[in-house]
Structure formats: C-alpha cells, structure tokens
Structure 1
Amino acid sequence: MFNKKKQEPVEQPEKIAELATKQEENARMREQLTNKNSEYMLKLNRSLDERGVSEERKTLIFNDMLKNIVEQQDHHLTARKIYGTVTDQANYLTENPTSSEQKEVVRSEPWKLYIDGGLLLGGMFAILSGISGMFGRGDSQAVGMQLMVLILNFVLGGFAFMIITKYAPVPGEKGGFIKYILATVLAMMGFVLFISLGALIPEAINPVIPSPITLVIGVVAIAAKWYLKRKLNTQGTLF
C-alpha cells in the first residue's frame, strides 16, 4: 500500500477534494498494475519517504505516473523502462515538479518577493545609469544618479514588482492577462512618478553618485538578487 503515513492537512477545501479524488484514482489504478510495476511503485514510495517527500506530493506524483504506466502496460512497457531505476526516478522527482504541480502558481512570502523585485529593478536602473554616464558625454565622475533616486529605485522597485507579480496571469484564468497589463501599467506609472519626485530633492541632501560607483552598486544588486533567490528559495518571481 502507498501513503502509509498520516495525511498532511491541506488548507483549501478545493485542494482537499482534489487530493481525495486523486487518492481514489490511485487506488483503482494500483489494482491494474502488473506484479513488476506494483513492486516498482512500492520501492519508489519507500525511496520518496526516505527523501522526506510529503504524502500530498506523493499522491500527485503517483497519479501522474500511474496513468502513464497503466496506459503503457498494453504496449508491454514496464515502469522501469519508462522511468528508469527507482533511485534515478526518486532523485528526479525530488528535484523537479510534476506536471500537476507545474500547473499551480506557487509564490513565496511577500517579503521575499519584495527583496527580489527591489534588487532587480534597483539594480537594473543603477546599471543603466552607470553605463550611460560613463560612456555618454561629459565627466563620468559628475554624471551619475542622485542618491535619493538610487535609494527609491530599490525601495519602490520592491513594491512595484510585488504588485506586478500578484497579478501575473494564471493558466486557465479568464481575464488574467488584462488585469496583469493594468497592474503593470499602474505600478510602473507610480514608480516613475515617485522616482521623479525624488529627483526634486535639494542637492545638499541629495548628492550625485559618480557613474562608476552607480554601476558597481547595480552589478552587486543583481548578483545579490540571484544569490538570495536561490538562498531563500524565492518562487513565483517574474525573472
């Protein structure tokens, strides 16, 4: 038998119903397996248990696999021929989402999305400003980004990307793309407006950062964005 562990709670009622349906499907399909395929799935279940895969995720994994295995049995293909050894398949499933999981939009906590978006947008503008100042006309030490504008790029960039990410289109959802476009336009308009106000702050408290330094800050910010995305396992970002 699969799923010997206590079922983990699922908060959303629709997910509870979906999970129960898939469990019933799995039970019916397991009865159709040949002895070899049944043994393969039992070993895979144990292997996934050893890797700490949750019961909910195993249900989704087995649902995808069993449908394929039952269908391919008519063509005399075993589970091992389809998916490789139990160890190889367990390793693959641990590191990659199933087709069912790929259809779900998974997003990290808002603060993770804020950090990711702020570093991305702030870093991009800093790099563009640094490059244009260094290779444009005039003294590269004088042509740069104002301090408050630089700071606001990072602070407001996080909010802008949080809004854009929240309204990113969901596969199968009607009207999602229109909401996404409106959210993106409004977020970027607000971003540009407040950045423009930051440029009006007196130079005495808003000095110009030299282009080379602005460029370095931008590069460091982009590097930090990718590092923290992996370190914090930030999901659901646009990039």
Structure 2
Amino acid sequence: MSETKLTLEEIKANNRELKEKLTKKNEQYMIQLDRSLIAANYAEEQRERLYAEMLAELVEKQKTGSTARQLYGTVTERVAIILDGPTLPVGGKSPDWQIFVDGALFMGGLFSLMSGITMFLNSNQVASMGLVSLLINFLVGGLMLLILTKVIPDFSKPKGQRGYMKYLGVSTILMLAWIMVVMGSQAIVPQSINIMLPPVAYLMIGIVSLVGKWYFKKTFDVRGTIM
C-alpha cells in the first residue's frame, strides 16, 4: 500500500539504494534488463515500479545464493514475460520429450562433427562410429542429458545441500554407460549394417543436427537443458 503512494522520484531513489546492494552478477542482469525495456519503449514509471519489486526480492534472496537468472529466467525471457505475459512459469522446465530431443541433437551432432573432422585430418583412419552406432549415440546422448537435468545442483539451496556429489556420481555412471553402449554397438552390430560413411556425410549430419538443435530450442522455447 505504501509503495503506491511514493512518487516516481522516490521510487527511483529507493531503487538506486537497492542496486548498490546487489552482487555484480545480479547488477549486470538488471542493467541488461533496463536496456532491453528501454529499447522496447516500456514506460519509465512502469519500469521503476517493476524494478522496485524485483530489487527487493533480489537483495533478500541473493543472501542464500540465488541469482536473478534463477529467479526470473534469462533477460530475454523476462522481457518477453513483461511485455507479452508468461507462457511458461519462470524457471520451469520444458516437457521431457523436448529436453530429450534437444540433448539428442546436441550429442549426436557434436560427435558426428568430430568423426567427420577426424576422418578428414587422418585419411588413413576409419570413422569412430558406423551409421547404426551414430544413431544409437543420438538416442543414448539425449537420454543421458535428460537424466542429468533431473539431478542438476540446486543453487538456490544452502551450500552442502545443493547436490554436487549426487550430480557427479550420476554423471560418471552415465558417461561410462554411454561409452559401453556405443562401443558395444561397434563390436556387436555387423559392419554390413553398421556401415561407415564418407567424412563429408558425418560433417553434414553434424552441422544439420546442431542447427536443428538451435532451431528446435528457439521454436519450442526449450528450458531446463544442460547445453
């Protein structure tokens, strides 16, 4: 109630005091947000009243390690919510299938690109993965990153309760399982099926997959991913 009675100048003065208490990371977030809202012609009084609420919350919650990005999402996401209204809860995660597809395109694309580059640089070497193994890498890679999003450390919790050891343990197990599955497919699947592709094919698959990941993430506004 009392805040609505304050003049714009009083609100701006209070905001300046609160900004001085922010961490460098949170201060930079607010600077970028302000620039974006000014560029979007968002009214000054609306900006300052919005900042008053955000700054008060930030100053309080940064004491427990929270950051502006954790509370409000990226600057781009926050601006979109301010201007257009929320489409997904801030900090909310996308459906598992979207996170899986995003991870599969990233892991499969990355290792396909690496295989193509390796073959170009070492023409006497065969590719590290056949076609079937490459497909398995897409699937296992997507599943691996999806599982990791379930155990990612929670930086909003006090130190010692954020889950670093759990994340490290799960990451190690998943990495070993991934290597075993992909390498196992190379040994088990007949070469007549698990055919090797020319270097340019691996490069094209890698490039298309990584571009596809970027497009998919942008189109579906995928959140909560590792990469």
Task: Give the TM-score normalised by the residue count of structure 1.
Answer: 0.61
Indicate whether 1:179 and 2:178 are aligned: no
* CA-to-aligned-CA distance 1:101-158 (integer Å, 9 cap, x gap): 249643211111001000000111101111101111417xx64630111101111111
Q: Does the aligned pair in 2 maintain the 1:118–1:157 contact within 8 Å? A: yes
Indicate whether 1:71 and 2:55 are aligned: no
Indicate whether 1:113 and 2:99 are aligned: yes
Counterpart of 1:163 (choices 147, 154, 157) is 147
SS of equivalent residue, structure 2 residue 197: strand
* CA-to-aligned-CA distance 1:178-237 (integer Å, 9 cap, x gap): 222122112211111111111121112221122221111011101100111101110122
Indicate whether 1:189 and 2:163 are aligned: no
Counterpart of 2:72 (choices 97, 101, 105) is 101
1:178–1:136 Cα change, 3 Å? same
1:165–1:29 Cα change, 3 Å? same
Indicate whether 1:217 and 2:205 are aligned: yes
Indicate whether 1:229 and 2:213 are aligned: no
Task: Name the larger-Rg structure.
Answer: 1
SS of equivalent residue, structure 2 residue 215: helix
1:105–1:183 Cα change, 3 Å? farther
Instruction: Spell out the pairing of 1:1-239 with structure 2 (5 A cutoff).
Output: 27-31=1-5, 33-34=6-7, 36=8, 69=12, 71-72=14-15, 88-89=41-42, 99=68, 100-102=71-73, 105-138=91-124, 143=127, 145-173=129-157, 174-200=161-187, 201-239=189-227
Q: Using CA pairs below 8 Å that are at least 6 residues apart, which structure has the higher relative contact order?
A: 2
Q: Does the aligned pair in 2 maintain the 1:147–1:209 contact within 8 Å? A: yes
Q: Does the aligned pair in 1 maintain the 2:129–2:186 contact within 8 Å? A: no
Which residue does the alignment assign to 1:50? none
CA distance in 1, matches of 2:199, 2:208: 14
SS of equivalent residue, structure 1 residue 107: coil
Structure 2: 5+ residue stretches without partners = 18-33, 48-53, 55-67, 75-89
Structure 1: 5+ residue stretches without partners = 1-26, 38-65, 75-82
C-alpha RMSD of the superposition = 3.2
CA distance in 2, matches of 1:87, 1:73: 22
CA distance in 2, matches of 1:73, 1:226: 38
SS of equivalent residue, structure 1 residue 175: coil
Query: Number of aligned pairs?
Result: 168
One-letter amino acid matched to 2:214: W
Q: Does the aligned pair in 2 maintain the 1:149–1:195 contact within 8 Å? A: yes
One-letter amino acid matched to 2:155: P
